[in-house]
A and B are shown apart, each in its own frame.
Chain A
Amino acid sequence: MSKSSSKKVEKSIEELTYEEALAELEEIVSALEGEQNRLEEAIQLFERGQALAARCGVLLEAAELKVKQVAGDEIIPFEELSE
């Protein structure tokens, strides 16, 4: 029951990428919806889920397109020409 949640709790939410946060949020949703959780555990899942959702929201709001370019065998930042 706690296999999915307890294992990952170590990683702090602020360090998660959008994909990681969303994937874990998805797991928590199905854990909460699907399994019989102990109340205390369910509340913990719920709180982590809330935090993950908030993290996703923050990342979405702050997202900025990162553009790099291939130069030979390297990847270097790409400076867009202004109009």
Chain B
Amino acid sequence: MQPTLFSTQQWTVSKLTFYIRKLLEENEILQDVWVQGEISNLSRPASGHIYFTLKDPSAALKCVMWKTSAARLGIALQDGMEVEVHGRIGVYEVSGQYQLYADQIRPVGEGALYQEFMRLKAMLEAEGLFAPERKRPIPMFPQTIGIVTSATGAALRDMLNTLRRRLPLVQVILAPAPVQGTEAPPALVKAIQSLNLQSPDVILLARGGGSIEDLWAFNDERVVRAVAASGVPVICGVGHETDFTLCDFAADLRAPTPTAAAELSTQITMLDLRAVVQNYKTRILTATLNLLAEQKTELSSLVSQLRYVSPDRRVQSESQRVDELARRAHSSLFHHLQLQSAHVQGMERRLEALNPLAVLRRGYAVLTRKEDGSVVARVAQASDEMNVRVSDGEFEVRKK
């Protein structure tokens, strides 16, 4: 590396080092490399960063892995371990050293696994095993959930705890199977098939985190095909968020973790169910109260109709009629009486005309004998004492 021919330019160490750093960091190849070698001088101080040297028989490369990447490391590093390290080349200016800033480390051989993964993925994809239209909906409210995982793993405990918390109404049928090693793929296939015989509503295929080799059974063609062939919808939750297996692609739903798989299989939780029951309770109450109110309204309208046709009303109207008749009777009687009275007056007047006393008013008098009251019509009839009756009274007279 002879970056400059300007003999006159005076470089400082800093400037030169910075220049070199820029050269290296602008090189695309050096910013994305996989390097194979053996780990030596491994050091992991309290800071959490990891320092080591990667070497092969003829060269060495200083490496550093920052704490954040180190935390995601799936394997335990050891001096002498043959690994493949991914990262970028940079310069540590303080000591003038170029080094590899590592972000992933995997055991040697995983590169080959990755090739195999890609080959299988392309093949199964071409067969249509991963097609979106194959994906079936996950039932909203499962009653039975099948689980395929290790009977002793943390994944099972996490899933059972999640189900217990979210929807303890469900029944779980576990089909235990080893989840790594050569015996895992056939056991996983058998577990998926046995669970299908029990027809749960959904199957969770799960395994906790691990290295790509640990998860390899879930990239096994037999297992992937068993997932695709399952008559029951499968949720696959293998490894961590960043791990993708072929089972994830074949499953009806991929979950980032076993816990997430348990969550995705219980979309309706106890809280929702309680709310549903409460809602129904409120609705039957409201509906019944409404019905009662309607009935009440109907009743009061009937009552007022009834009042309209009630005998009470007829009695009132009858009594009015009686009053009316009475008035008519009274007035006709009165009329009758008036006629009668006029008649009587007429009779009286006629009678008056015949009354002998009427003559008295013209100055005539009636003379009667005092002793027997007989009328003195002739002289011979006169007695000593007689009564004289005139128009307004009587007096006595003596014969001379």
Contacts and interface: CB of A to CB of B under 8 A. Distances in A.
Interface of A: 18-19, 22, 25-26, 28-29, 32-33, 37, 39, 42-43, 45-46, 49-50, 53, 56-57, 59-60, 63-70, 73, 75, 78, 80-81
Contacts of B205: none
B176 interface: yes
B310 to A, nearest CB: 24
Given A45-B288, A63-B168, A70-B176, 16 more contacts: A22-B273, A25-B284, A26-B280, A39-B291, A39-B295, A43-B288, A46-B284, A46-B285, A49-B284, A53-B277, A56-B277, A63-B169, A65-B171, A65-B172, A66-B172, A69-B173
B215 interface: no
Interface string B266-309: 00001001101100110111011001100100000000000000
Q: Which 6 A-B pairs have the closest CB atoms?
A: A32-B287, A49-B284, A63-B168, A69-B174, A46-B288, A70-B175
A36 to B, nearest CB: 9
Nearest to B274: A60
B99 interface: no
A70 B191 contact: yes
B277 A25 contact: yes
A33 B287 contact: yes
B283 A69 contact: no
- Size bin of chain B's contact surface: 35 or more
Contacts of B280: 25-26, 29, 49, 53
A68 B174 contact: yes
Contact of B164 (A59, A65, A68, A69): A65
B288 A32 contact: yes
Contact of B195 (A28, A70, A81): A70
Contact of A57 (B143, B152, B277, B284): B277
Contacts of B270: 60, 63
A66 B200 CA distance: 13
B171 A81 contact: no
A45 B284 contact: yes
A80 B160 contact: yes
B174 A32 contact: no
Contact of A29 (B157, B287, B291, B295): B287
